[in-house]
Amino acid sequence: MKTRWIATPYIVWMIIFTVVPLLLVFFFSVTVQTDDGIVFTLEHFKKLMEPIYLKVLLRSILLAFVSTLVCLVLGYPMAMILASSDLKRKNVLVFLFVAPMWMNFLLRTYAWLTLLEKNGLINSVLSIFGIKPLNLLYNNLAVLLGMVYNFLPFMVLPIYSVLSKVDKSVIEAAQDLGANNFKVFTKVTFPLSLPGVASGITMVFMPAVTTFVVPRLLGGAQFTLIGNLIERQFVLVGDWNFGSAISIVMMILILISMGIMSRYETESVEGGFFG
């Protein structure tokens, strides 16, 4: 009974700030205000199936997938380096890696504007060698670069946390049995790190697919992802119903991706040890 009373404030908090907003979003997504009152409808979901909105949705998923893949390719080796470093060097490396996250997300993205713009640092350096200014802003590459930079720590830290807890005697046992470094990695290290990989993929993909600050600043006004579309419906257009419908669809897609990752993680771990 005492434990239940302690949990009560958290339950109330979750109901007020999580459950109620979700119910309101769902309510707006399936209703429309008419002269006769509120009418239930699925027209907002059908509107999302129009080619112009499907294109935005597919572009958002593709960029989020690519950015997640790049973060995994770059982040896994970094996590292994952090996990294998001695204590003093490890603390310094972790600090240097986490320090940029203490800066505001918007300021970090603005910093890339000064680097990528035509009169920015990169083009200024290239001009010294006689290279004409490159168009580095307002394209897919600039948005992808901003996503990877901002979300890479969310891939590295979960993997590092898992790798740092791996029992070194298991790796030594595999080496004693004749396994080379590649076999140790594929059969022992990587399967044991899959919980961190799954967490990292989820933590990168979810904000990447719904971000609106990065595409707005680095992609330009004409570059629209699903996060920008949702923001415009609520802030500029005032169509809360359509914005809520898009949000519900995105939540469903994210939950499906989390379920797939969770199932794949379990199957991969079992296959790594018993396959």
pLDDT in tens, 211-240: 888 998 898 877 789 999 999 999 889 999
User: Rounded CA gap, 275 and 269, in Å?
Assistant: 9
Q: Are 148 and 70 in contact (CB under 8 A)?
A: yes
User: β-strand 37-40 against 31-34: which pairing, if any?
Assistant: antiparallel
Which element (helix H / strand E) includes 106? helix 105-116
Residues of the chain with CATH 1.10.3720.10: 51-274
Q: Are 171 and 190 in contact (CB under 8 A)?
A: no
Above 90 in pLDDT, residue 47? yes
Angle at alpha carbon of residue 66, lines to 64 and 67, rounded to 5°: 65
Above 80 in pLDDT, residue 153? yes
Mean pLDDT of the chain: 86
The CB density around residue 119, as the number of other CB atoms within 10 Å, is 9
At 273, is the pLDDT very low, low, confident or very high (cuts 50, 70, 90)?
very low
pLDDT reported for residue 40:
92
Q: Please list the residues that pair with 34 across neighbouring strands.
A: 37
Instruction: Kindly state the greatest CA–CA separation across the chain.
Output: 78
If we measure between CA atoms, which residue out of 212, 207, 215 comes closest to residue 143? Answer: 215
Q: Are 265 and 198 in contact (CB under 8 A)?
A: yes
At 98, is the pLDDT very low, low, confident or very high (cuts 50, 70, 90)?
confident
Above 60 in pLDDT, residue 271? no
pLDDT reported for residue 150:
92
pLDDT reported for residue 58:
92
- What's the CATH superfamily of 51-274? MetI-like (1.10.3720.10)
pLDDT reported for residue 93:
78
| CA-to-CA separations, 1 to 8, 10, 17, 52, 174, in angstroms, rounded | 11, 15, 25, 54, 48
Q: Are 241 and 32 in contact (CB under 8 A)?
A: yes
Angle at alpha carbon of residue 105, lines to 12 and 247, rounded to 5°: 50
Above 80 in pLDDT, residue 129? yes
At 264, is the pLDDT very low, low, confident or very high (cuts 50, 70, 90)?
low
Above 60 in pLDDT, residue 268? no
> Of the ranges 93-97, 118-122, 204-208, which one carries the lowest mean pLDDT score?
93-97
Q: Please list the residues that pair with 31 across neighbouring strands.
A: 40
